[in-house]
A and B are shown apart, each in its own frame.
Chain A
Amino acid sequence: SQKIEQNSEALNIQEGKTATLTCNYTNYSPAYLQWYRQDPGRGPVFLLLIRENEKEKRKERLKVTFDTTLKQSLFHITASQPADSATYLCALDRGLFSGGYNKLIFGAGTRLAVHP
């Protein structure tokens, strides 16, 4: 069966450092991979999408890489700030539209804590 894994332990880093979160998957060949941010008690917020033929995608201080050989995506936040503290979810997207629908498979998320 399809499996998606994110670091279950919280990641604690100092302000100003680069945070790196990992998303590994098995038994799956996603056409896209998405990253979301979720604050406690809130719904996830879309951050970035990367296609299988893209090695890297950037948006401001965020960078995502996608290695289909390793079946892994890395999510980086550079110059991290306390406001970046949240849970980050990765989601696999096979890219199939069946009547306009695309199914996402979400990981459990990694909690990031950025300390001043």
Chain B
Amino acid sequence: SQTIHQWPATLVQPVGSPLSLECTVEGTSNPNLYWYRQAAGRGLQLLFYSVGIGQISSEVPQNLSASRPQDRQFILSSKKLLLSDSGFYLCAWSAGTGTREQYFGPGTRLTVT
């Protein structure tokens, strides 16, 4: 069966510090991968998606970047965090074809102080 991992679970970082969040998927090949951010009381905002290694698309301009160095690894990064980067970050995957639902990881709670 497929599983998705995210780490760390929680993170407190000062403004201006770098960020690296990692997501890995097991039990599937060539998944579509997604990074979302969820603010309190708000819907999930799609940040990045990837349909293959090295292929990254950004949905909104922001202080963050994403990379996909391996088929089942997705990384969210920032060189200098802003207060507005605080939130709940979720990684998700979906099968490349045939199915439409997305499967989410446990999330990372990021607080920028």
Which residues of A line the B interface, CB within 8 A? 4, 8, 32, 34, 41-46, 49, 89, 93, 95, 97, 99-109
- Using a Cβ–Cβ cut-off of 8 Å, how many residues does chain B contribute to the interface with A? 25
Interface of A is mostly: loop
Complex alpha-carbon distance, A113 and B56, angstroms: 39
Contacts of B97 in A (CB 8 A): 97, 100
How many residue pairs, one in A and one in B, have C-beta atoms under 8 Å apart?
Answer: 56
Given known A97-B97, A108-B42, contact A46–B49 (CB-CB < 8 A): no
Complex alpha-carbon distance, A95 and B102, angstroms: 13
Tell me if A89 and B51 are in contact (CB < 8 A). no
Which residues of B line the A interface, CB within 8 A? 32, 41-44, 46, 49, 51, 55, 57, 59, 90, 92, 94, 96-97, 100-107, 109
Tell me if B96 and A106 are in contact (CB < 8 A). no
Contacts of A95 in B (CB 8 A): 100
Tell me if B43 and A106 are in contact (CB < 8 A). yes
Tell me if A108 and B51 are in contact (CB < 8 A). no
